[in-house]
Structure 1
Amino acid sequence: MGRVEGKIAFITGAASGIGAACAKILAREGATVVMADLQDEMGQGVLAEIRDEGGDGHYLHLDVTSEQGWANAMVEVMSKFGELHILINCAGTTHSKSSFPSEAEFDEWRSIVSVNLDGTFLATKHALGAMKKSDPVNGSIINISSVYGMVGLPGIGAYNASKGGVRIYSKSVALSCAQEGVNVRVNTIHPGIIDTPLLQRALSRNPDPEAARMRYDSLQPVGHLGQPEDIAYGALYLASDEAKFVTGAELVIDGGYIAR
């Protein structure tokens, strides 16, 4: 349908899960996708799938916590394409185990906040700088937060804090762009429990992974987990010009999880 035809989209965490789904769907809708991740072999595999379907893309290795890495990535994007229209920031991590706050480890806190919140800051900072060089400026930044950036859950304080930070930081950036007349919209998506490799790894640590998965299914009002594509279609809308009046907003895609 060409909903993002001719646009250049930069997607982090693009080697698997939500990031890979976003890359595939935006490519089908006409965008040239620049995929970034640390899992190079998997990322190249997703890129090959996109090209096999007739899409256009490029892959690069990126540690989202490295400011120099971001600076280099934007130089590469601008030298190759000359403009940037879309950022979808999907890279993220979570706890290896639940812990009571007095027993939480500072190193784990710093690791989670570094990827989820610092990574979002660096992504937004450097992508926005590139978008402002496009002519005309017409950008959309989509930061993937979580339902746990809106509601708390015991034992995952660092994840709650980092995803809540993504939510409110994105609103500040949206208002800054609007105030300065910079035509870049900034929004967050808040997935519920999605069947991604991150969740599958968590389930594999359970003594009975299948029973654990059934418990997760039962927690969803709709009766089942979400799929990465469910989030990617929301990102497609926010990335497209259909959402030209949407900024500073939260798109919750959670099967009704926090509606109760």
Structure 2
Amino acid sequence: MSSGNTGGDTRANGRVAVVTGAGSGIGRSVARALAAAGWSVALAGRRAETLTETAAEFADPAAALCVPTDVTSAERVADLFTAVRARFGRVDLLFNNAGTFAGGGVPVDELDPETWRAVVDVNLTGAFLCAQAAFRAMKEQDPRGGRIINNGSISAHVPRPHSIAYTATKHAMTGLTKSLSLDGRPYRIACGQIDIGNAATDMTARMQAGILQADGSTAVEPVMDAADVAATVVHMAGLPLEANVQFATVMATTMPYIGRG
């Protein structure tokens, strides 16, 4: 893997981001906001067509690189970062966003072990594989360093009913963030985490129809615009590497989070 800013098509500011789960929801919003802020953005996700839809709104088509990627595969993740460095020359940011809520709404005693494994594979192992590949690139390149921002969710702090797989992986994400932050210090690699609550995406549509609460009732929950999440990520990403937002919580103001349960 080559080092240095040797790739073609880099933009004037030279900042290069990788966004996983970029084909929809928060990933799409963040990718578009980064591009608007002057970043070149590699869009990673399972489906090429949704990545192309995300890139279609970039003002500069040269700022986008669409790379269909299965984040649970070490080989595919390695291919992603090889493609990014070949095109843009370096990696300055990973927004580690790909995730699944599979098995949500299923009581713990009824959760299929295969569903558990699938959630762990995407939310935790996938996040590790992407962070590892980004870490390697950031350590090797010249100038050295970069930033990793993990999407933790407020489920990194408190669970919803019947969400054991998702909640366990998001709690684990906090440990991943802390370890990356510590291990990255000698190489100017910063790592922070954004914990998001009720951004308006397809995944949270059920909240506006009514969702199970800790007391057994069902309630409609408020949501916020995903663009507000994207603005926070852009701010975190834009800091000099000497500064880091270690943890940030961005949530719909009146959602039932404080005192949940």
TM-score range, shorter chain: 0.7 to 0.9
Going from structure 1 to structure 2, the CA distance change for 1:12 and 1:244 (only over 3 Å counts) comes to: same
Aligned with 2:249 (options 245, 248, 252): 252
What's 2:5 paired with? none
Question: How far apart, in 2, do the equivalents of 1:136 and 1:164 lie?
Answer: 33
Question: How far apart, in 2, do the equivalents of 1:97 and 1:169 lie?
Answer: 22
Write out per-residue CA displacement over residues 202-236 of structure 1, whole angstroms, 9 at most, x where no aligned residue: 46xxxxx7466x9333xxxxxx3022112111111
5+ residue gaps, structure 2: 1-11, 212-217
Question: How far apart, in 1, do the equivalents of 2:230 and 2:62 lie?
Answer: 16
Q: CA RMSD in A?
A: 2.2
Instruction: Map 1:200-239; keep pairs closer than 5 Å.
Output: 200=205, 202=206, 210=209, 215-217=219-221, 224-239=222-237
Q: CA deviation at 1:239?
A: 0.9
Report the number of matched residues. Answer: 241
Aligned with 2:54 (options 31, 46, 58): 46
Question: How far apart, in 2, do the equivalents of 1:142 and 1:117 lie?
Answer: 14
Question: How far apart, in 2, do the equivalents of 1:105 and 1:243 lie?
Answer: 42
Q: Contact 1:5/1:30 (CA < 8 Å) preserved in 2?
A: yes
TM-score (norm 1): 0.86
What's 2:3 paired with? none
Q: Which segments of structure 1 move beyond 6 Å, counting only runs of 4 or more?
A: none
Q: CA deviation at 1:166?
A: 0.7
Q: Contact 1:95/1:156 (CA < 8 Å) preserved in 2?
A: no
Aligned with 2:17 (options 4, 9, 18): 9
Q: Contact 1:70/1:122 (CA < 8 Å) preserved in 2?
A: yes
What secondary structure is seen at the aligned counterpart in 2 of 1:135? Answer: coil
What secondary structure is seen at the aligned counterpart in 2 of 1:113? Answer: helix
What secondary structure is seen at the aligned counterpart in 1 of 2:131? Answer: helix
Write out per-residue CA displacement over residues 95-139 of structure 1, whole angstroms, 9 at most, x where no aligned residue: 344122222211111111110001110010001111112211231
Instruction: Map 1:80-119; keep pairs closer than 5 Å.
Output: 80-119=87-126
Q: Contact 1:237/1:243 (CA < 8 Å) preserved in 2?
A: no
Question: How far apart, in 1, do the equivalents of 2:67 and 2:61 lie?
Answer: 20
What secondary structure is seen at the aligned counterpart in 2 of 1:132? Answer: helix
Question: How far apart, in 1, do the equivalents of 2:258 and 2:50 lie?
Answer: 35
TM-score (norm 2): 0.85
Higher helix fraction: Structure 1 or Structure 2? 1
| Identity score, percent | 28
Q: CA deviation at 1:93?
A: 0.4
Question: How far apart, in 2, do the equivalents of 1:54 and 1:114 lie?
Answer: 32
Question: How far apart, in 1, do the equivalents of 2:104 and 2:39 lie?
Answer: 38
What's 1:37 paired with? 45
5+ residue gaps, structure 1: 204-208, 218-223
What's 1:206 paired with? none
